[in-house]
Structure formats: structure tokens, C-alpha cells
Amino acid sequence: MTLDNLYRNTAVLLLIFSWFLAAGESRLSVEFEHLGVDQGLSHNSGLCIQQDSHGFIWIGTQNGLNRYDGYTFKKYFHEPNDSTSLSDSYINSLFLDSRGDIWVGTNKGGLNRYDRNNDRFQRFQNDPDEPNSIGEGSVTQIAEDANGTIWAAVISSGLFRFNRKNSDFYRIPNISETPGALRGQ
């Protein structure tokens, strides 16, 4: 067998092998499982979703926060007489930070941080008498910058930077008059 024939035969074998691989991949199917109130979700309207570092899936709804382990849901709600419950049951946003903490933005109750060790929440709510509290309104977005600083966007109040050391917030002033600047309201 000449070298040209060897190359040609190798190329044909690779082509046939590639065809079998492609044909096999087309038969793969992706299965989805519907998760709703019948399966244990607190509300059928899922507004946000986040997976944590332990593999739990967190689903924020219009009526509660749900932690899913692949089999069952654990539900979290606002409990008026429990300061370690969520500040509101209407969940707008979820965020997993670089420390593995889940942050929960609510419709009317501010921002919450999940305390995994005690299975409860730390609330950060608006206090009109405290200038370093988060603004009043819906927390719609939560993010973290490269320095580990948590940022929260609050409708009608603006953008807030969280100081982890003091557990307080700084409101970013409205600088919308500057071209290309961020509007904080």
C-alpha cells in the first residue's frame, strides 16, 4: 500500500466515523421537567432563577422564594413576626456573589442576604431616619464588581453600593446630565 492510499483510506475512515458521530448526536434528546405548584413550587410565576455553589436551584416567584434540590422544594416567605424571614414574598431578583451568598431583591421589602448556616435571612430595608439604608422601592437588579462590592438597583431610588464592613449603603448620585453617565433614579 502506498503512502497516498494510506492517507486516502485514513481520510475515508475518519469521514465515516464523523458521520456516525453526527448521526448519533442527532438522536440525543433533551428532557425538560415542568415544575409548578403541583410539584411544590410556591407560585406558577417564576420571575428569577439562580443556582448556588451547593447545587440548589433558587426560584423567585410572586409568592415566595423556593429552593429546589432536584426532588423537593423548600419555600421561604415573608413572616410579619419573624425578622429573619424574607422582607417581602414577591421576589424580583436573585444573585450569587463570589463568597457563595445568595442575595434576594424583593418588590417592596428591600434586599435580603441568605444565611446558609442558620437557614434564615438578613434584611436590608429602607429606613427614612437612616441615610445609609437602601432606598425605598423594588430591588430589580443585583450585581457584584471585580472588588467584591455588591450593587443594587432600586426603582424610584437609584443605584446603591453596599459596604460589607459596615453593612450600610451608599446611594450613587444622579449624574445623568453628564454624557454617557448612569442615571441613578
Cβ contact 110:125 at 8 Å: yes
Q: Name the grid cell of 107.
A: 418588590
Taking alpha carbons only, the member of 43, 48, 45 closest to residue 58 is: 48
Looking at domain 37-172, its CATH superfamily turns out to be: YVTN repeat-like/Quinoprotein amine dehydrogenase (2.130.10.10)
pLDDT at 17: 65
Residue 73 CB neighbour total at 10 angstroms: 17
d(CA 76, CA 184): 31
Residue 172: is it exposed, middle or buried by C-beta count within 10 angstroms (0-12/13-18/19+)? middle
Cβ neighbours of residue 24 closer than 8 Å, sequence gap 6 or more? none
pLDDT tens for 76-120 read 999 999 999 999 999 999 999 999 999 999 999 899 999 999 999
pLDDT tens for 118-146 read 999 999 999 999 999 999 999 999 999 99
Domain layout of the chain by residue ranges = 1-31, 37-172
Cβ contact 127:136 at 8 Å: no
- Per cent of the chain over pLDDT 90 is 68
Q: Is the dihedral of CA 132, 91, 145, 182 positive or negative?
A: negative
Which residue type sits at 45? S
Taking all residues of the chain, what is their mean pLDDT, rounded to a whole number?
87
- Residue 9 confidence (pLDDT) above 70: no
Cβ contact 142:105 at 8 Å: yes
d(CA 127, CA 6): 79
